[in-house]
Amino acid sequence: MNLEYGPQYEDYKKEVQAFCNKYKGIQFSDSAKVPLAQNNKSGGPSMSRSDWQKTLIENGYFARSIPKEYGGFGGESDVIKSRIAATEFSNSGIPGPMGGQGIDMLVPTLLELGTEEQKNKYIKPTLYGEMIWCQGYSEPNAGSDLASLQTKGELIDDQWVINGQKIWTSTAQYSQMMFCLVRTEPEASKHAGISYLLVPMDTPGLEIRPLVDMTLKAGFNEVFFTDVTIPGANIVGSRGEGWAVANATLGHERGSLANPNATMNRLNMLIERMKKETINGETLIENLIYRDRLLQVQGKVMAFQSHALRVLSAKLNPGQDVKVGKMIQKLIGTELRHELEGLGIDIMGELGTLYEDSPHLRDGGSWQFTYMYFLGLIIGGGTSQIQKNIISERGLGLPREPKVQGV
């Protein structure tokens, strides 16, 4: 079996390598303003994250298949080129594109279900990192059972008037916009009567209350709506059919919470760290116990990448259902990343637990912080337990979980 890419892809590989060499050691001038951004201090070129995003798009390394009129590269999807670029970026330590709820979740939803006006207005600034979005789904009494949401939206004089509360809203304090689920048809059944609205975060009557979590950062927020009024056109899909739109977004969310390329980059970062750190004069990479654990995680990361490629390939073939595959990607990917971060902490001992100001920080203190952060992502987008139930029932055809009666 010939597994070589072929001459056309070898040329593309050289093109990507030249790009990576040009931008190796890139520094971000605005990294302090970008959540979870890490500023590379190795003396490479400097630019803002937004300019880097534009550079990646202009060269076809991001938003490759999104039409140019919406701010994308305007090319065709190519699984092999995507794999080559991801591999070369990882090998060179070149940062990938910005992600986030707007880029990873809303943009593909609008491409699929949005109006032409919505695509033209929102996709380009979102792709370029100029418009940040948050997700208004969960409520105090509607988490895993999302369809129980009670935030109310009324259409009055062609304007939506929203009242209610959302919780666990990531990045709300940084966002300009929210895609939000509200109940617009109170007499309809639970899964019906929900609409998918686009809400500017500076609208009067909207209040954000940050929630400080165990990372000592406000990663989540409560958001309160008091007569928040937005244009009637700020709805994606039809009135009362927001559940179908939300499920489309959830599918994209599950795929984005566990990025296989980011996981491979992190694994390479761990390997480099193990080559530098020593115990009794021996590098950690030479320690047989740690190296065995590393190889176990490395095998899982490679298998995870293969699964993600299979999902990507299926997405490019009409008629193939990738919903279960994305759920598997979310389930395995978030738990694997948490395991990987935990290994990083273990090998460094007490140094791995540092993530605030300290002269002994390793990699910006990112290991402990990201370990706790991914514990949250195991819950976000549907807990691991929920994912396992859906995979077993819809993917494997196992009996549905019995419901307790009369309690």
* Tokens coding 268: 């390479």
If phi > 0 it is left, if psi is from -120 to 50 it is alpha, else beta; for residue 384 that is: alpha
Q: Are residues 188 and 288 in the same domain?
A: no
Please name which of 183, 205, 186, 210 lies closest in space to residue 195, comparing C-alpha atoms. 183
Q: Are residues 62 and 33 in the same domain?
A: yes
185 given a catalytic annotation: no
Q: Are residues 86 and 154 in the same domain?
A: no
**Pair 161, 126: CB distance under 8 Å:** no
Please name which of 112, 53, 85, 76 lies closest in space to residue 252, comparing C-alpha atoms. 112
What is the SS3 assignment for 284-313?
Answer: HHHCHHHHHHHHHHHHHHHHHHHHHHHHHH
CATH of the domain at 312: 1.20.140.10
The tens digit of pLDDT for each residue in 30-75 reads 754 444 344 444 557 888 888 999 999 999 999 999 999 999 999 9
**Does 193 fall in a domain?**
yes
Q: Are residues 226 and 295 in the same domain?
A: no
Q: Are residues 234 and 268 in the same domain?
A: no
Mean pLDDT of the chain: 88
Sign of CA dihedral 245, 247, 253, 255: negative
Q: Are residues 262 and 390 in the same domain?
A: yes
Q: Are residues 273 and 346 in the same domain?
A: yes
Give me the pLDDT at residue 115, please.
96
**What total number of domains does the chain contain?**
3
Q: Are residues 73 and 152 in the same domain?
A: no
Q: Are residues 267 and 326 in the same domain?
A: yes
The residue whose two tokens read 């699929």 is 112
**Does 326 fall in a domain?**
yes
**Does 247 fall in a domain?**
no
pTM score: 0.80
304 alpha carbon, distance to own chain's centre: 16
**Does 31 fall in a domain?**
yes
d(CA 136, CA 173): 13
For every residue of 32-87, DSSP letters joined together read GGSTT-----SS--EE-HHHHHHHHHHTTSSSTTS-GGGTS------HHHHHHHHH
Catalytic annotation, pick one of 253, 277, 335, 341: 253
**Does 114 fall in a domain?**
no
Q: Are residues 202 and 330 in the same domain?
A: no
Q: Are residues 94 and 146 in the same domain?
A: no
Domain that holds residue 29: 7-98
**Does 123 fall in a domain?**
no
CATH of the domain at 218: 2.40.110.10
Least confident of 243-247, 341-345, 369-373: 369-373
